[in-house]
Structure formats: structure tokens, C-alpha cells
Amino acid sequence: MEKRIWLITGISSGLGKALAETVMEHGDFVVGTFRKQSQVEEFNKMHEGKGLGLLADVTNTEEVQKIFEIITDKYGRLDVLVNNAGVGFVGAIEEASLAEARAIFEVNVFGALQVTQMALPTFRKQGFGHIFQISSGSDIKASAGFGIYNASKFALEGFSEALADEIKPLGIKMTIVEPGPFRTEFAGTSLMQAHNEIKEYEATAGAFRKKLTEVVHNHQEGHPRKAANIIMEVSNHENPPLRLPLGKIVLGGIEVKLASMQQDLDNWRDVSASAVY
């Protein structure tokens, strides 16, 4: 088989790096984005003929356009898109400034949306393609102290779910990946915190902030390489899932959310049904 061409955003560390390495090991070709030129040069030196590193910020329209121009000129097609670039944010809703919230949405929502929109013309012309949106278990169940991040991932899931219905007749697949806590830099260099702290939220958002920022790097349950292998396997599947939770913690969180929703439906069904003509 001819090598598939993958575009993976944010491959300097964590799941993005693990996935890029896994894809190349399986014989496919990776076009990956970095935020630092030194990272681009190091990647291209190490993986010549197997991958191509490019300098790009997913929130920068011109830089994203350049990526797709290079892919079109060099390879003539794109098989798999992985929107992996993202940032975390911890803080109570009242603690977060609008500027901080907008910064999170710029990357997690509008950055992913922009890259997705630019990939779609190629996928439509080809009549095939697979989009992986690297979301989070936090796009299902929100937590005190994580609300802004939750909101960004809820938004990512929302437009991706709608897009899945729009592109299915065109031969394009969609999978929303929902990782739980993984042994990556998410709680380190990829985590932003609300500048403002309000003492009344110490028991809720404050407790979550403390827990997240003090997490021991090698104690999260998620294994990035195992997650990468699963994504690789799903990319070869004829009928991939729309949602792909990864990890026992996120599975438990989803079950709690579903049970909570079902309880509200059962307890308030008659009231809800009465709001009609």
C-alpha cells in the first residue's frame, strides 16, 4: 500500500509526539507542526524521509494555509488529519478573565476549526479522509475548576458531532478522541491558570487546581504509546467510532454523567413533557 499522509498538529510532546512516532513506525508519513524552529530542525534531521516538521501556530491563518499548500504541492493528497494542538486551563468560572477564556478558545476551538475547515476541500475532492479531534474526557463531564477548559472541549465536540453527519455521505470519517489523564505535559507546560484567585472557591475550584498542578508526572494512568496504537488501529477501521474514550477514569466519568442525565430525565420527565401546546 502507498504510504498514507497524516497531518498532526502539536507533536513536540505528549500524545502528539507518541502518535507521530507510532504512525512513522507503521510506515505512514507524518506532517507535524511545532511552535519552535529548533524543534522543527531536530525532527526533520531525525526523521528524514519519514516525516516533515513545520513551524505553525494553529491560530495563525497564514501559517495554517502554508501547511496545506506544502501538503498539496509535495504529496497531492491528505489521508488523516489529527487536531492535537491544545492547551489546558484551571480556575473557577468567576476567576477566569474574558481574555484568558478567549485565549483557550482560540487554540482549542477556533484553531481546531480552522485546520479542519482547510482540510475539508482536499477530503471532499478525494472522496475520503479521516479526522481525529483530540478532545478530552472533559468534553463529557465538567468539573469545578475546569469549566473554561470544559467549555472549549464541549464546543469542539459539538461542531465535530455535527460535522460527522455532514461529511459521512462524502466518504469522510470523524472520530472524537476523549483521553483521560495521561503521562504527558498537560498539567505542566500545557496548562494555563487563572491569574485571579478567590478564596471562597478554595474548597471547589481551588482544590481541583491544587490536585492538578501537584500531580506527580509519572502517576497518571494513561499511557501515550498505548493511546497512539489505539488511534492507529482505529484509523485502519472501516467503521470507526464517533467517540473514542481512552482510559478507565474517563470511562467512569462518562458513566457518572450518563447516570446523572438519566436520573434527571426520570425525575422530571412529566414536567419537561408539559412544556408543549
Active site amino acids: 135, 149, 153
Helical residues (DSSP H) of the chain, grouped into ranges: 14-25, 37-46, 61-75, 98-105, 112-126, 147-167, 207-213, 224-235, 248-273
Helices and strands counted in the chain (H then E): 9, 9
Task: Give exposure, 168-183, as e/b (b: 16+ Cβ within 10 Å).
Answer: eeeebbbbbbbbbbbb
End-to-end CA distance of the chain: 59
For the purposes of burial, counting CB atoms within 10 Å of the CB of 11, is it exposed (0-12), middle (13-18) or buried (19 or more)?
Answer: buried
The Cα-based distances of 165 to 24, 91, 94, 123, 175 in angstroms read: 30, 34, 35, 15, 12
The Cα-based distances of 132 to 100, 120, 243, 244 in angstroms read: 26, 13, 10, 10
Comparing CA positions, the residue from 48, 84, 75 lying closest to residue 231 is 84
